[in-house]
Amino acid sequence: MNVIHPLEEYTRKGMIPHIWCAGCGNGIILTAFLKAVKELNLDMNKLVVVSGIGCIGRIAGYINVDAFHTTHGRAIAFALGVKLAKPELKTVVISGDGDLFAIGGNHFIHAARRNVDMTVICSNNFNYGMTGGQLGPTTPLKAYSTTSPYGNIEHPFNLVYLAAAAGAVYVARWTAVHPRRLKESIKKALTKKGFTFIEVISPCPTEYGRRNRMRDPVEYMRWLKSVSEIRHFIDPREAEISSDRIIVGEFVDIEKPEYTEMLWAKINAIREKALRGELGFEI
């Protein structure tokens, strides 16, 4: 009997199974995204997925669409170029907390400020999992890493608060133990015009977990389930993450003009004036 995976047409043959560690949440993110794409019946020829450097960055090679694995911190900058050149494409960035909010942080806040039509999904595993488990911009206070062996003293970013403050029109956070809720949020983000952001707390037993007494993947997932608290549409600044509580849910869902539509409207208006000779100079 020839068994076919229900998502086989959405993945690249020869690249699956993936090479992520046992217990990593990136596989859950991949499945949730592909299920969302399938349920929305999106045209795969008009979908672009961009990733950055990090464990989750490999996702670009697993999805059967035009995809790009960019340099460190440049996923959103690359995706912005794609969207400006081909505004009809559905543009998605799937990357990690370090890539998006450390070296790539400036690109994130300005894409959100402009309200560029793209969906950004952040796999937040609280550390640089691919390069040895170093401290990152989302590592919780007092947490251990290879570069904070006595406990982290740096205040971490609250990513949903940052995204909301920068101007995102849809903001949500889920964990790897909320796959159905994550899928539904991805569907909302993909069908909403503007800059949409979803943070996914993703377990990293190999690096973060073993330094913080969650070496076993099942133990890590039990911890995520025990500390998660769903609170929809609270002030994102109150959506805290600590050792005993992770606030999850949808926090922002608003409407406002989108950047590429305004840009092309302005370009076309200038062209029309030029054709009528109203600019006073040639372009």
In the prediction, which pLDDT does 181 show? 98
Longest dimension (CA), the chain: 73
Q: Which residues pair with 96 in a beta bridge?
A: 123
Cα–Cα distance, 63 to 15 (Å, whole number)? 9
Distance CA 230, CA 232 (A): 6
Residue 203: inside a domain, yes or no? yes
The tokens for 14 are 């020869």
Q: Encode pLDDT of 206-218 as tens digits.
A: 999 999 999 999 9
% the chain with pLDDT above 90: 88
The answer to the question of residue 282 being in a domain is: no
- For the cut 70, the answer to whether the pLDDT of residue 281 exceeds it is no
Using one digit for the tens of pLDDT, what is the confidence trace for 38-66? 999 999 999 999 999 999 999 999 999 99
The answer to whether the beta carbons of residues 174 and 248 sit under 8 Å apart is yes
Tally of residues, the chain: 283
Residue 109 lies in a domain: yes
| 128 in a structural domain | yes
Enter the tokens of residue 233.
């549409």
Which two structure tokens, joined as six digits, stand for 217? 């993947």
For residue 123, tell me if it sits in a domain.
Answer: yes
To 10 degrees, the CA torsion angle through 2, 4, 8, 14?
A: -30
Average pLDDT, the chain: 95
Sort 227 into a burial class: Cβ within 10 Å, 0-12 / 13-18 / 19+: middle
Residue 41 covered by a domain: yes
Give the chain's domain count: 1
Does residue 281 lie within any of the structural domains?
Answer: no
Q: Which domain holds residue 182?
A: 8-275
pLDDT tens-digit map of 113-172: 999 999 999 999 999 999 999 999 999 999 999 999 999 999 999 999 999 999 999 999
Question: Is residue 120 a contact partner of residue 76, using CB atoms and an 8 Å limit?
Answer: yes
Write the CA distances from 282 to 86, 266, 276, 278, integer angstroms.
26, 17, 11, 10
> How far from each other are the two terminal CA atoms of the chain, in whole angstroms?
64
Please, which pLDDT band fits residue 271 given cuts at 50, 70 and 90?
A: confident
Q: What is the mean pLDDT of residues 1-22?
A: 86
Residue 189 lies in a domain: yes
And the tokens for 32? 């949730």
Residue 240: which CATH number?
3.40.50.970
- How does pLDDT run across 189-237, given as a tens digit for each residue? 999 999 999 999 999 999 999 999 999 999 999 999 999 999 999 999 9
